[in-house]
Each structure stands twice: as C-alpha cells, then as structure tokens.
Structure 1
Amino acid sequence: MNKLRYIFPNAFTSLNFMLGVFAICWATGSFDTITAPGTDYIRMSAYFILLCVLFDKLDGFAARLVNASSEFGAQFDSLADLIAFGIAPAFCIFYTYRGFAPNWFQSHFALLIVVFSIYVLCAAMRLAKYNAMDSDTYHHHFSGVPSTFAGAINAITIVFFKSRGLFDGAESAALYLPVAILFVTGILMVSPLFLPKLQPRKNKLFNTAQAVLIVITYFCAFFFVTDTIPFLYEYLLLLVGGYLVIGLAIGLINRKKIIAEAKAEKEKAA
C-alpha cells in the first residue's frame, strides 16, 4: 500500500513526458491527418511545450504532499524534462525552417544540425549535472539556466517570429535570430552563471508582485494557442527574457557571495 503513493507524483511526470512527445509529433506534422485544415502545427507544438512548463513543478509538489520522493522519480522527471525542454523545442524550430523556409533550410542545413545538436546535448548535460551535483548545493539559485526556461523561450520565440512574418522573407538576415537564440540558450544551460530562483523573499511587496506575475503568466500561457489576448507573445517574451537577463546579471554580481554561502552550508552540514 505504501508503494501506491508513488503513483501520484509519477502520474504528473508521465503527463509531462507525453506532452513533450506530442509536442514533437505536432512539430513534425505527424498529427496533420487528424486535425482540421489550417491548424498551425508549429504553434500547437509550442503550446504543448508551454503546458509542460506550467505542469513542471506538479510532480515535485505531489511527491512532497504524499511524502513519495524517490530516486526513480528524480530520474524519470529529468528524462521527461529532456523530452519536453530539450528535444521538443529543437524539433519545433528545426521543422519550422523545414516547412516555412525550405530554401534557407537547404542552404543552411549544416548550421541547423550543429545548433540543434548543441542545444539538445546541453539540455541533457544540464539535467545530468543537476541530478549529480547541483540539486542540494544551491538553495536559492540555479547553476546555469534551467531547461524549463530555455525550452519556454525557444517555443515562444519561434511562434512570435513566425506570426510576425519572419519566414515570409526567404533570404532575410533575421532568419538567423531563432537559431542564435537556440544556440545561446543551450550554452546558458551549461554555463557557470547563477540565476535567482522564483521563491518567497523577505520583501512582502516583492512577493506580491512575483505572485501576481506568475498567475498572469499561467493565464496567458494557457491561452497561447488562441488569438484572444493582444500582444500575448510580446508579454511572455518580455517577462521570461527580462527575468533571465536581470537574474543572470544579479547572479554575476553576487557570484562570489553565492559560492561562499553554498560552501559554508556544505561545511556546516558535514
């Protein structure tokens, strides 16, 4: 009976895993024959990736709720994250170029393959590094950009550029932008930079503002697949991009302090 409680958190991990798989199916056009004509399969792929972002913490919350944390759950969660935030965003971008800029795709195929590979490998290394070394080292900061944020940025970015007509200009220099963002976010995942975690602070006003922004972001992400909210892509990009830029800058400024505090906590625990 005790083992049954592990089903609850692993069910959420399974959901994220399958959403990531379905995001890949959407990106590659595997669902074309069973969807309505005119369905934007790239936006659907990005939407499924964002759903994975929204549900990402539910398995951990469920595990703590029923006291069902396990090594299996941690490894399964990392595998689901690799699918949802590593492989799916890379496929989404790769197949956007393949479907909507075929000439550019052919002439820059080597570049796309290299960046695709770097991003997926960096996501895998980021998740392995977190499980092996970082999960209990830094309590208030991420070491490297989490795969969750990297996946979200790339999913939102490709839909934003596509909706703004980037792929209408077959030889536009701007076509390098999504590829560059994919490359940079991949490198940031394995970088030694620190990013403050979204968690309660001493400042009540800051906590209130943070909570409000999170609620609004969840609301907007759920409606990502519709056209009902104006400037939806811009808001999400500004929020996620701003958090990363400002957060990484703060982490860089406080780098020595963060490392010293982690070292002191480790020595105290020993």
Structure 2
Amino acid sequence: MAKRWSPNVLTATRLVLGVASITATVNSYWLVAAGFVFLAALYDNWANRLARRLNTTAEFARDIDMLSDLLVFGLAPATLYFFAQFSENGLTGYLLALVYPAACAFRLARYTVAGAKVYYPSDPLPVAGPALSGLALVGSMLPTTVHVMIIILASVLVIANVRVPRLW
C-alpha cells in the first residue's frame, strides 16, 4: 500500500507548495513564492523517479499529477508574474496573466485526451513554471514589452509539441 501511495504523497506536497506560492505572492513575498515553485519542480522530479522505480502507475496518480502541474507550474507562476509585473496594467495585465495558465490547461487536457497514443519526451511545465517565476523577480530590469513577449512565448512553447531535453 505504501509503495503505491509514496509518489502521490510527493505530488500532494506539490499541490501544497502551489497554494503556498500563491499565498506568498498575494502577501508580497515574491522570492518565497518563486522558491516554492522551484521546490515543486524538484518534487516533481522525485515523484516521477519514485513512481518509475516502484513501477507504480494509476489513473488517479496521473490525474492528481496533472492538477498539481496546472496549479504549481501554471497558476502559481502566472499569479507571481501578475503581481510582480502586470498588476498596474489594468485589464491588459489580467488578460496577460491568464494566457499562460490557459495554455498550460490546454496542454494538459490535450495530453489527457490523447492518453497513451501520444508520447511527450518531457513535459515543459516543470521547466517553464520555474523559469517564469524567476523572470518575474527580475522584472524591474526589463521593460514591460519584454515581459509581454516572454509570457506569449512561454505560452506558445507550452502548447507546441517541442522536444525539451531532460535536465535531470
């Protein structure tokens, strides 16, 4: 029983880190919020390795993993980006903050529908989420136009079937 649930505990921890990141962002602890997203990327790696090592797969595990990915690598970085860069841009800022998580949801839904028929060599969400979180922190050094291009480019790359090399 513990063998089957061990990777799910790490995945559930990622969900908690996603909520903690959003909470930290709203309370203006942006460095802490980005740190939670980076930590969640490590937990994603550990959970995937553990699941492969223990040879555990289940539909529940896949679904909770995707929900966790959407929260921690889609919504949390977009929330951080909004508060750090786009909050003073009114409706345009809100729309820009919605583009990236919508792209993440689209990718995850496409993967769910395709099931085993489509093979993704690696998922760019655990790479894109921390990257956007880090870029949100260096915001004052870049003009708003560059941030707009970063969000749009990240969204396009998440949707595209781009082969992302494994980092670990």
TM-score, reference length from structure 1 = 0.57
What residue is the counterpart of 1:125 in the other structure?
Answer: 106
What residue is the counterpart of 1:153 in the other structure?
Answer: 131
Percent of aligned pairs with the same residue?
25
* Mapping 1:146-225, distance limit 5 Å: 146-162=124-140, 164=141, 174-192=143-161, 194-198=162-166
One-letter amino acid of the structure 1 residue matched with residue 36 of structure 2? F
In the alignment, is the contact (CA less than 8 A) between 1:112 and 1:179 conserved in 2?
no
What residue is the counterpart of 1:60 in the other structure?
Answer: 48
What residue is the counterpart of 2:12 in the other structure?
Answer: 14
Deviations 1:76-118 (A, max 9, x none): 00000100010000100111136xxx6xx1xx21211112222
CA distance in 1, matches of 2:10, 2:148: 31
Report the CA distance shift for 1:128/1:17 in structure 2 as closer, same or farther (over 3 A): same
Alignment counterpart, residue 73 of structure 2, candidates 80, 85, 89: 85
* Mapping 1:21-100, distance limit 5 Å: 21-29=19-27, 41-97=29-85
In the alignment, is the contact (CA less than 8 A) between 1:9 and 1:60 conserved in 2?
yes
Q: Give the superposition deviation at 1:122.
A: 0.7
Q: Partner of 2:148: helix, strand, or coil? A: helix
Deviations 1:174-224 (A, max 9, x none): 1232232112211221124x21432xxxxxxxxxxx7xxx5xxxxxxxxxx
Report the CA distance shift for 1:96/1:135 in structure 2 as closer, same or farther (over 3 A): farther
Count of residues paired in the alignment:
168
CA distance in 2, matches of 1:196, 1:94: 26
Q: Partner of 1:195: helix, strand, or coil? A: coil
| Structure ID, larger Rg | 1
Runs (5+) with no aligned partner, structure 1: 30-39, 167-173, 199-209, 215-270
Higher helix share: 2
Q: Partner of 2:118: helix, strand, or coil? A: coil
CA distance in 2, matches of 1:91, 1:195: 26
One-letter amino acid of the structure 2 residue matched with residue 88 of structure 1? A
Report the CA distance shift for 1:119/1:8 in structure 2 as closer, same or farther (over 3 A): same
> Which of 1 and 2 has higher RCO (CA within 8 Å, sep 6+)?
2
CA distance in 1, matches of 2:106, 2:58: 21
Q: Give the superposition deviation at 1:16.
A: 0.8
In the alignment, is the contact (CA less than 8 A) between 2:22 and 2:76 conserved in 1?
yes
CA distance in 1, matches of 2:71, 2:116: 20
CA distance in 2, matches of 1:130, 1:57: 19
Report the CA distance shift for 1:161/1:117 in structure 2 as closer, same or farther (over 3 A): closer
In the alignment, is the contact (CA less than 8 A) between 1:126 and 1:147 conserved in 2?
no
